Structure 1
Amino acid sequence: MAFSISNTIKRGIVSNIRSFSASAEAGSHSGGMRQWKLASIFVAMPAVVLCMINVYLSHEHHERPPFIPYEHMRIRTKRFPWGDGVKSLFHNPHTNALPDGYEDVDEH
């Protein structure tokens, strides 16, 4: 009885080893590439389109928050090497306040 169980276990191990070595052959992973390609087309692209539609439809003109001159914010210990030296490189006059407050920008 123990003899037949050990032979059964050996056959199972050998068949598992053969199946693992068969999956390591070249070209056996082509199904994965197809899966990612389909996922990109049917999941990622529609998700990007839905996000773009959401941004377009929900875009509203937001009022800028009131300026509160906190001492720990907008500290300038050294001037920026571009422009007038006060504005950061990606300065947005509508949302980014200067140390003295918001800029007065004419709305279009």
Structure 2
Amino acid sequence: LTFPFERLKRGMVAPTAKGRGSTRMWKALTYFVALPGMGVSMLNTFLKSQHGEHKKTEFVAYPHLRIRTKPFPWGDGNHTLFHNPHVNQLLTG
């Protein structure tokens, strides 16, 4: 007696000499490459956030940037939907 979708399962993984070598390879890549990589990325983000607040760059009003033909349909029409006053600058600076 076989699982009804056994033929579908076999077709989804490229055949290898050992049969399940591909599955073993992807599990190993997940556990030994992807998860430690995510951990290092999280540690890097945490350590950078401990250094203090983000410094604002000097505002330069370039004429070709922030062109608006009509106001946004929410709020006062000048702020984007996910506006962050510490990071995002308005047209006036």
- TM-score w.r.t. the length of structure 1 is 0.61
Deviates more, 1:69-78 or 1:33-42: 69-78
- Residue 51 of structure 1 is matched in structure 2 by 41
Moved beyond 2 Å, runs of 4+:
none
Structure 1: which 5+ runs fail to align?
1-22, 102-108
- Residue 91 of structure 1 is matched in structure 2 by 83
- Residue 74 of structure 2 is matched in structure 1 by 82
Structure 2: which 5+ runs fail to align?
1-13
Taking the aligned partners of 2:75 and 2:56, their CA distance within structure 1 comes to 24
Whose radius of gyration is greater, 1 or 2? 1
Partner of 1:97: helix, strand, or coil?
coil
- TM-score w.r.t. the length of structure 2 is 0.70
Taking the aligned partners of 1:24 and 1:47, their CA distance within structure 2 comes to 28
Task: Give RMSD over aligned pairs.
Answer: 2.2
Taking the aligned partners of 1:48 and 1:24, their CA distance within structure 2 comes to 30
Instruction: Identify the structure with the greater helix proportion.
Output: 1
Partner of 1:55: helix, strand, or coil?
helix
Matched residue type, 1:33 = T
1:47-69 CA distance string (max 9 Å, x none): 10011111111223221011222
Q: Which has the higher contact order (CA 8 A, sep 6+)?
A: 2
**1:24, distance to aligned residue in structure 2 (A):** 5.5
The change in CA–CA distance for 1:46 and 1:24 in structure 2 (over 3 A counts) is: closer
